[in-house]
A and B are shown apart, each in its own frame.
Chain A
């Protein structure tokens, strides 16, 4: 039977076992990479940030109290990595802005389909950074509003407002696209 996240985290904290941590990486890498891909809109940048986030998680694993889920703790580290990258790496931010601009001028004739990742990313690119991050945390990573509040450090009421505003924008964008393509 596969060990629970908490057991593996405790083992890593006690012994520094890299292979046990490898199991945690294997288990959560798609969640973290998907979250960062949707937030940054850039696969390569997301993978770099995800890698840094896992390395930081390994170093800080002793601070994981086990009160919340390991997934939520990890997402918090990944989100912090993203914020730090945005603040510190001007080049990364420039790449994101260029990508966003590219998204804005790019037109597609295809009708919006819920399975179309490109269209989803295009709609996400229209949101503010905070709205996008919160929508991704709640709809992609499966976090509750309370968990998203803890991860981003924003008050719960603010989180709900941003999510509602983000959803409304996305709904309008997607409906507008559908109206054009019908």
Chain B
């Protein structure tokens, strides 16, 4: 049996249904959200990115010292080392680290 409360519930639901029907689908709204997603800079991503980049820079600054103390037995490695020089090798290692870091961040939503 339908109670007076049920009757008012139904009336209220109908009222909302009709009022909400006035709010139409807005394609521009979807577009605006999609555009904002492209531009949105996640503050956490920036903090983590900044910390990671600083860590990479610190690590790379120690690489040159480490590389200078290394003695290679392999002739190919010795040749590469002599041709490129310590600084170039450190730069390459640093670029690889930064590239890997960027690749990981790109695929992750933090």
Contacts and interface: CB of A to CB of B under 8 A. Distances in A.
Interface string B1-43: 0000100110111111011101111110110111011101010
Interface residues of A, number: 36
Contacts of B16: 38, 120, 136, 139-140
B55 to A, nearest CB: 24
A51 B29 contact: yes
B109 A61 contact: yes
B33 A139 contact: no
A21 B40 CA distance: 14
- For chain B, the bracket of interface size reads 20 to 34
B37 A58 contact: yes
Given A50-B29, A51-B29, A139-B13, 5 more contacts: A26-B27, A38-B19, A117-B19, A120-B19, A136-B16
18 contacts: A18-B34, A22-B30, A25-B30, A25-B33, A26-B30, A29-B25, A30-B20, A30-B23, A30-B25, A33-B29, A51-B32, A55-B37, A58-B37, A62-B109, A116-B19, A117-B18, A120-B15, A139-B12
Interface of B: 5, 8-9, 11-16, 18-20, 22-27, 29-30, 32-34, 36-38, 40, 42, 107, 109
Interface of A: 13, 16, 18-19, 21-22, 25-26, 29-30, 33-34, 37-38, 47, 50-51, 54-55, 58-59, 61-62, 114-117, 120-121, 135-136, 139-140, 167, 170-171
